[in-house]
Amino acid sequence: MDYTFTSDGPLLKCKMAGEFTFTDHPIFRDMIDEAVKTGARSIQLDLQEVEYIDSAGLGMFLVANERSGEEGWKFSISNPREKVQKMFTLAKLETIVPIITD
Amino acid sequence: MAMVAQPNIYDAAEDETMDESELGATEDQEATPEDHSLPVIPGSPPVGSHEGMHDLLTLWVGLSDVQKRTFKALTKEVEVASELVETSTEELSTNFQKLASFSQRQADDLKSIIESASTVVVDDQEITLTDILHVMEGSISTVVEQILHVSKHGMSMAYAMEDLLGNVEKVQARVTDIETVTKQTNLLALNAKIEAMRAGEAGAGFSVVADGVRELSNSINDLSGQIRQEISDVSQSLSDSQGNLKEVTSIDMTENIMAKERIEEIMTCLIERNESFSQTIQNSASNSDNMTRQVSEMITGIQFQDRTSQRLGNILDALKILSEAGEEMKAKTEEQVGEEITPELDREWLNQLINGFHLGEMRERFIMHALYDEEDPTNTEASSSEGNDSSQEDEDDIELF
């Protein structure tokens, strides 16, 4: 998994690309740390370029979401592809994390 | 002296010719069964004579007698017809009622199929197909939720282990620091020992201390080696645990998604098929209902028998009155003539009349009444129907309905 940041006011967009699985947990954690350090009030993970997510990836989103609650910033996900969206629907992720389509 | 119906013969020659012509007529009967004309009165008395009038009266009384017997036979015939209509109507009604009850039962069965088709009974509880779909979807959702739960906590653990591994690495670095310090201490002790030797007697005490310091640093070196080994074991265990966590948390959920979609598809098809079945059965049930209604209407329609019986009753009354009128006329005539008239049956005339009838059974009864004044027609009916089977087929096409 690779990522790039785009800042838009108080919103920080993390554009993720490739597959997002268990082995990506150090890089994902670093990404969140880095994003939090920018002082952004809201962090959004853009999944337009993400082809596949396994349950570990979902778990990491949930951990990040929990952290956002503890640290007081907004966490959201945007533009999942059809396959990924199906998984979100199955897991009812939208009831926990806001999923936005631009 | 009683009068005889057979009139006096005035011309023997004429009579002979008549006999011949009657014989001929009898032979021709099969060809002309429709001939209902009255037989020719043999001979003819002089016009206006007393004898002539008397003979004519005798003939009239004879005719009246024949009519009376005919009416009797007809009465029996009408009664038989009435009975037939009544029996047939009853049979028809009973059969139609059975038919109606069959189709009603069919409709009921079909309705119960419709009711039970869309549900399944599990542990005495009725569950619809839609419920089953929801139960299955619910099961998948529960599994997915559990996967999610495990994944989240697994990832938290993975993070914690990562932190732990960082700490272990730091400890390892500290151990290296300790080893460096120990090496330097060892070197320092060695230097002290050399300096103590060089000082000779005065340095003897120092030499002992230097040896002690060297031993200590060696011990520390051994300890730090052990710590390094143990920390390395911990680090290895952490790496192994991370591998296990990966196994636990990395679940490809594509299969779950596909399973859920497949179940939805199958259930949708099942529900659709069930609906189409129900629709067909519904149509069939309403057809059965219609059939029941139609048959009930038919049963009502069959009740014409009542009206028919009334009409036949009217005919019977009329026949009775006519018969009585004939009897009365005969009595009056006898009073006028001043003697009893005993008419003799003109067999030939009767035969000709009877041959005009089409119905074999009726003919039999008629003969019994007209010729032999038979009162009980049941025996006749039985014997005629048994004995005349073959001849009936030849004679009476009408009876074949």
pLDDT at B394 over 70: no
A37 to chain B, closest Cα gap in Å = 18
Report yes or no on B25 lying in a domain.
Answer: no
d(CA B153, CA B147): 10
Find the helix or strand (DSSP H, E) in which A6 lies: strand A2-8
Report yes or no on B173 lying in a domain.
Answer: yes
Which of B266, B301, B322 is a domain's end point? B266
Token pair listed for B197: 């030797």
State pLDDT tens for residues A46-89: 999 999 999 999 999 999 999 999 999 999 999 999 999 988 98
Report yes or no on B101 lying in a domain.
Answer: yes
Q: Does B152 touch chain A (CB under 8 A)?
A: yes
DSSP B140-208: HHHHHHHHHHHHHHHHHHHHHHHHHHHHHHHHHHHHHHHHHHHHHHHHHHHHHHHHHHHTGGGGHHHHH
- This complex has an ipTM of 0.92
Of B159, B246, B256, which is closest to A63 when you measure between CB atoms? B159
pLDDT at B125: 86
| Host domain of residue B302 | 50-119+275-373
Same domain, B181 and B250: yes
Of A23, A25, A93, which is closest to B155 when you measure between CB atoms? A25
Q: Are B156 and A56 in contact (CB < 8 Å)?
A: no
Helix A82-91 with B129-198: angle, nearest 10 deg? 100
d(CA A57, CA A62): 9
pTM reported for the whole predicted model: 0.58
B186 to chain A, closest Cα gap in Å = 41
Of A25, A87, A93, which is closest to B158 when you measure between CB atoms? A25
Q: Are B162 and A26 in contact (CB < 8 Å)?
A: yes
Of A55, A83, A91, which is closest to B250 when you measure between CB atoms? A55
* Amino acid at residue number B19: D
Cβ atoms B377, B368 nearer than 8 A = yes
- Looking at the structure of chain B, the number of domains it has is 2
Q: Does B262 touch chain A (CB under 8 A)?
A: no
Same domain, B239 and B130: yes
CATH number, position B232: 1.10.287.950
Same domain, B140 and B261: yes
pLDDT at B9 over 70: no
d(CA B246, CA B235): 17
State pLDDT tens for residues B29-71: 444 455 555 555 555 556 667 777 877 888 788 878 878 888 8
Token pair listed for A61: 């989103």
Report yes or no on B194 lying in a domain.
Answer: yes
Half-sphere exposure of B51 (CA within 13 A, CB side): 8
d(CA B389, CA B395): 10
Same domain, B345 and B280: yes
* Paired sense of beta strands A2-8 and A11-20, if any: antiparallel
Which of B243, B266, B289 is a domain's end point? B266
Cβ atoms B257, B191 nearer than 8 A = no
Report yes or no on B308 lying in a domain.
Answer: yes
